[in-house]
């Protein structure tokens, strides 16, 4: 294994470790805004997968997205009894959106840095888009799953399911897009400057 591949492997492992910490240690993976905006709790794990794709390329983004999805799936299987655990105990919903976010972020980051003269605004858009894409894919996959395998209880309606999911999952979406966009912008600038050669051509 070449020195550059070894460095990229180590960096990917660091991003995976960060996702694991964010997933299992309270407050590392979310910003509780309830004290300022009632009911809002902003998930910031998407920015880690986006940053991995940005700095290390789509393959590393995919790996980090995989671990993000796996930890989400396992955590919700271990703690049943909530709407969130019901949604993310489905492996398709837990895994597929996160895999796509990590992979697509890597490809989009390549375009941003190649085409944009000053790509910093693109970093914000990458973070915001990664957060939006995760939420949108979770809503879409959950709608399909609940239609194919109807569930009862917890106030889950049989009619207007998509609208209901948009209401409960989409409430935080705007806050999450802003938070993840700003974090990718601030952290991404530093990482790209410090680790300029880790991204594969």
- The residue whose two tokens read 């998407």 is 46
- The residue whose two tokens read 């979770």 is 138
Helix (H, G, I), strand (E, B) or coil at 42: strand
d(Cα 99, Cα 102) in Å, to the nearest integer?
5
pLDDT for res 28: 79
Domain assignment present for residue 200? The answer is no
Among residues 71, 126, 87, which one has the least CA distance to residue 104? 126
Work out the number of other CB atoms within 10 angstroms of the CB of residue 114. Answer: 8
Domain total in the chain:
1
Among residues 59, 68, 60, which one has the least CA distance to residue 18? 68
What is the overall mean pLDDT for the chain? 85
Q: Quick check: 72 pLDDT over 80?
A: yes
pLDDT for res 138: 93
Helix (H, G, I), strand (E, B) or coil at 151: coil
What are 45-67's pLDDT values in tens digits?
999 999 999 999 999 999 999 99
What are 7-35's pLDDT values in tens digits?
889 999 999 999 999 988 877 777 766 54
Considering only 25-34, 83-92, 121-130, 185-194, which range has the smallest mean pLDDT?
A: 25-34
Among residues 102, 105, 69, which one has the least CA distance to residue 87? 69
Higher pLDDT, 58 or 5: 58
Work out the number of other CB atoms within 10 angstroms of the CB of residue 71. Answer: 21
pLDDT for res 35: 42
Q: Which residue range(s) make up the domain with 177?
A: 3-194
**CATH code, 32:** 1.10.1760.20
Q: Quick check: 36 pLDDT over 90?
A: no
Domain assignment present for residue 190? The answer is yes
pTM for the full predicted model:
0.88
What are 150-179's pLDDT values in tens digits?
776 666 777 787 887 887 777 778 889 999
- The residue whose two tokens read 């879409």 is 140
Domain assignment present for residue 201? The answer is no
- Chain centroid to Cα 15, Å, comes to 13
d(Cα 93, Cα 141) in Å, to the nearest integer?
6
Are 63 and 18 a contacting pair, CB within 8 Å? no
């Amino acid at each position: 294994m070449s020195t550059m591949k070894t460095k990229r492997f180590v960096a990917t492992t660091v991003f995976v470790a960060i996702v694991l910490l964010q997933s299992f240690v309270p407050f590392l993976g979310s910003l509780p805004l309830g004290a300022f905006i009632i009911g809002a709790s902003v998930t910031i794990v998407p920015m880690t997968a986006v940053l991995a794709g940005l700095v290390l390329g789509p393959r590393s983004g995919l790996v980090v997205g995989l671990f993000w999805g796996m930890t989400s799936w396992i955590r919700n299987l271990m703690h049943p009894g909530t709407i969130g655990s019901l949604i993310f105990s489905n492996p398709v919903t837990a895994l597929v959106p996160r895999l796509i976010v990590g992979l697509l972020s890597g490809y989009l980051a390549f375009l941003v840095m190649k085409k944009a003269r000053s790509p910093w605004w693109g970093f914000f858009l990458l973070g915001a888009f990664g957060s939006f894409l995760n939420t949108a894919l979770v809503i879409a996959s959950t709608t399909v799953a609940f239609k194919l395998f109807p569930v009862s209880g917890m106030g889950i309606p049989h009619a207007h399911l998509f609208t209901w999911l948009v209401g409960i999952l989409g409430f935080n979406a705007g806050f999450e897009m802003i938070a993840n966009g700003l974090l990718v912008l601030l952290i991404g600038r530093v990482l790209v400057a410090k680790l300029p050669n880790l991204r594969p051509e």
